[in-house]
Amino acid sequence: MKRIDFRSDTVTQPTAAMRRAIAEAEVGDDVYGEDPTVLRLEARVAERLGLEAAVFVPSGTQANQLAIGAHCRAGDEVLTEAGSHILHYEGGAVPALWGVQPQPLPGQRGLLSPEDVSAAVREDNIHNPRTRLLSLENTHNRGGGSVWPVERFRAVVEAARKAGLAVHLDGARLFNAGVALGVPVSAWAALTDTTSVCFSKGLGAPVGSALAGRADVIREARRLRKRLGGGMRQAGILAAAALHALEHHVERLADDHANARRLAAGLAELPGVEVDASRVETNMVFAEFSRSALEMVARLEQHGVLTNPAGAPRTLRLVTHLDVSAADIDEALQRIRRAVG
């Protein structure tokens, strides 16, 4: 029985064409700045994001942490939505690596308002940490794959600017947002000081992310990358996969979004399953079951469907990606029906 894996869009396998690109990659020593494929990737990312420069890194977590380290100093504070990736999924790195205090702000499906940001900025007082950075996330994972409307994003960034804050965007799934709204990713990224993007999620590369931003900030991030052990050598082998993904896998994200809507509609018809299909904006479906999340994960695995709990007691997250077809969605729904019966 074929396993249908909805745990994450990180589980994808490189396509045959991507493997050829990896095998044929021109490489050099990236720490010396001599890997031509890495240099091409960094230039391409900066161009697409509308920012000055970029640095290739092993992971999205490292990209986000380099941004925080470049913008902040020990004792500073970063504002971020309460469900953000930097708070929940990066191993406590914000205080552990940089001595920076996070201030979580309650949002709506991961999104903040200008008023949320303005009210959270500390006054200049010796008792307070210095509020230095606003970190946003698009799409927002714990928000259900929610997309920032561009004008709302712009208004929040403007509120941060008025308060003297730098702005970082965790854009791990930013290309999903761009495809969902039909706008270039620079619509968000060019408004920021730094933006991270991930190649190993919906874009389907095996490894890698990039951090883009102002040239001076990226120079500092490159120094911090070395400090954290992220300096890779013949990294063009990995960058070639990322370049292939940028050239061939962005537009097809629409297929993943369509499959997520197909999955949500099918789940909503099953007894004992609740799904708000109107909230499926990109490639994530959050479904509430009558049994506990852990029990459902085990029951679904017995039927060859892999999922993850989503934090709530009876809720699972199901993520579509390039290794899940429309036919797989239909097969999965049949299996899920048997599992919940």
For residue range 131-158, what is the model confidence (pLDDT) as tens digits?
999 999 999 999 999 999 999 999 999 9
| pLDDT tops 90 at residue 85 | yes
* 81 contacts 111 by C-beta, under 8 angstroms: yes
Q: Which regions of the chain carry the CATH code 3.40.640.10? A: 16-247
Distance CA 131, CA 143 (A): 24
Q: For 260-287, what is each residue's pLDDT tens digit?
A: 999 999 999 999 999 998 899 999 999 9
Centroid of chain to Cα 143: 12
| pLDDT tops 90 at residue 308 | yes
Percent of the chain whose predicted confidence (pLDDT) is above 70: 100
Please list, in sequence order, all residues whose beta carbon lies within 8 angstroms of the beta carbon of residue 290, skipping any fewer than 6 positions away: 272, 273, 314, 340
Q: For 30-48, what is each residue's pLDDT tens digit?
A: 999 999 999 999 999 999 9
For the record, the structure tokens of 74 come out as 């020990």
pLDDT, mean over the chain: 97
Task: Give the dihedral of Cα atoms 67, 73, 121, 163; nearest 10 deg.
Answer: -70
Residue type, 28: G
Q: For 93-110, what is each residue's pLDDT tens digit?
A: 999 999 999 999 999 999
| pLDDT tops 90 at residue 312 | no
Q: How many CB atoms are closer than 10 A to CB 89? A: 13
Strand partners, 286: 317
What is the CATH topology of the domain spanning 16-247? Aspartate Aminotransferase; domain 2 (3.40.640)
The pLDDT-based confidence of 311 (bands split at 50, 70, 90) is confident
Q: For 166-217, what is each residue's pLDDT tens digit?
A: 999 999 999 999 999 999 999 999 999 999 999 999 999 999 999 999 999 9
Backbone angles phi, psi at 136, to 5 degrees: -115, 170
Global pTM? 0.96
Is residue 139 reached through a cis peptide bond, with omega within 30 degrees of 0 on the bond before it?
yes
* 136 contacts 189 by C-beta, under 8 angstroms: no
Query: What is the DSSP code (8-state) at residue 204?
Result: -
Residue type, 7: R
Distance CA 244, CA 84 (A): 29
Centroid of chain to Cα 305: 23
Please list, in sequence order, all residues whose beta carbon lies within 8 angstroms of the beta carbon of residue 200, skipping any fewer than 6 positions away: 10, 12, 59, 60, 206, 207, 208, 209
| pLDDT tops 80 at residue 130 | yes
Strand partners, 289: 273
Centroid of chain to Cα 16: 25
| Beta strand residue intervals within 95-144, DSSP E | 101-105, 130-137
Which of 3.90.1150.10, 3.50.50.60, 1.25.50.20, 3.40.50.720 is the CATH number of 252-340? 3.90.1150.10
Q: Which regions of the chain carry the CATH code 3.90.1150.10? A: 252-340
